Amino acid sequence: MFIVNSYFLAILFCFITMLCWGSWANTQKLAGKNWRYELFYWDYVIGILLFSVISAFTLGSMGESGRPFIEDLKQTTTANLGSAFLGGIVFNAANILLSAAIAIAGMAVAFPVGIGLALVLGVFVNYMASAKGDPVLLFTGVLSVAIAIIINAVAFSKKTKSAGKVSQKGIWLSLAAGLLMSVFYRFIAASMDLDNFESPAAGKMTPYTAVFIFSLGIFVSNFLFNTILMRKPIEGQPVSYKTYFKGKSIHFVGILGGLIWGLGNSFNLIAAGKAGAAISYGLGQGATLIAALWGVFIWKEFKNAPPGTSKLLLFMFLFFVLGISLIIYAGL
């Protein structure tokens, strides 16, 4: 299988993760013009599972390093399979809430608040489990991201007051998504031998196998979570599976979103062996910055905001960049 052997390449993979995790939601925005997000989400989940299979039988099975996918899957213990599968369930619950927040509040709010919170808590959780990197630099970077989140919330508050809206549902959904999102990565990381991808401990998984089991957890749990959401949506009228099967080319948009997220997820876990779980996860969740850029400059989600909002957004971006830079430097 393919293994990352240098810190520089690990950081590059984390940046690709950042781009993927911060950009997949554009497909939801595109589909959302004519397609409910509950229906989009089914295609998105299918895309994630599809990429995990492709990754397992290509990068995860080629070369002479480590164990190939099938061999690795056969020797994995039930406990480790369960850990990665549970990670998929937790992630799915979080991501459904995040998708709802995107539909209500937009990318420029849902990502900085939800994923930003996940970054802050998730780095702490993963560092406590597997300490790697300078803790002072790492957590100073996390503090900078936390400040960026607060600034974004203030900017959103100014925007909604200006528009005469008082609902904060998008913010609360983002916060709930962030709390759940902060712990899913730990379950996957615990199922792998992060110290040795070349010769993983018996019973532990390679990242490719872990990604596949994790993706199965997402897919299987979606039959429960998304069915409930379709029948009792957070906003709008209930939607049926009959409507889903009436979709035509729109399905490819959601599948593309899942493939994009899946690429980022695989690269992030591959990089975790060299960069460490806390740094790899933290940089990946720098997706908040990418999503905010899309939301502000492409989707114009802060258009016609009151005076002073632009300055707040500038400071938000500056603190995000500072935080991400410190997280990278913490591993050198």
How high is the pLDDT of residue 164?
52
pLDDT band at 32 (very low <50, low <70, confident <90, very high): confident
CA atoms of 84 and 50, how far apart (whole Å): 17
Do residues 327 and 282 lie in contact, with contact meaning Cβ atoms separated by under 8 Å? yes
CA atoms of 209 and 188, how far apart (whole Å): 10
- Max CA pair span of the chain: 61
For residues 254, 260, 263 and 268, what is the CA-based torsion angle, rounded to 10 degrees? -110
The alpha carbon of 169 is separated from its chain's Cα centroid by a whole number of angstroms, namely: 21
How high is the pLDDT of residue 165?
53
pLDDT band at 153 (very low <50, low <70, confident <90, very high): confident
How high is the pLDDT of residue 171?
82
Q: What is the pLDDT of residues 86-102, one digit of tens each?
A: 999 999 999 899 888 88
For residue 306, give both structure tokens. 């009151």
pTM of the model: 0.87
How high is the pLDDT of residue 26?
93
Counting other chains too, the contacts that 195-199 makes at CB distance below 8 Å and 24 or more residues apart are: 195/273, 196/273, 197/1, 197/3, 197/65, 197/66, 197/273, 198/3, 198/65, 198/66, 199/66
- Average pLDDT score over the chain: 89
> What is the mean predicted confidence (pLDDT) over 235-264?
94
How high is the pLDDT of residue 69?
96
For residue 127, give both structure tokens. 């560092």
How high is the pLDDT of residue 166?
39
Q: What is the pLDDT of residues 166-218, one digit of tens each?
A: 357 888 898 999 999 999 999 999 999 988 898 889 999 999 999 999 999 99
Do residues 22 and 248 lie in contact, with contact meaning Cβ atoms separated by under 8 Å? no
Structure-token match 């008082």, residue found? 166
CA atoms of 202 and 69, how far apart (whole Å): 14
How high is the pLDDT of residue 160?
66
How high is the pLDDT of residue 235?
79
Burial class for 254, CB neighbours closer than 10 Å (0-12, 13-18, 19+): buried
- Between 32 and 45, residue with greater pLDDT: 45
Beta bridge pairs of residue 205: 192
The residues spanned by each domain of the chain are 7-330
Percentage of the chain surpassing pLDDT 70? 97
CA atoms of 123 and 271, how far apart (whole Å): 15
How high is the pLDDT of residue 315?
93
How high is the pLDDT of residue 58?
96
- Between 298 and 263, residue with greater pLDDT: 263
Judged by average pLDDT, the poorest of 150-154, 157-161, 309-313, 314-318 is 157-161
Sequence-distant (≥ 6) Cβ neighbours of residue 17 within 8 angstroms: 264, 265, 267, 268, 271, 280, 283, 284, 287
pLDDT band at 289 (very low <50, low <70, confident <90, very high): confident
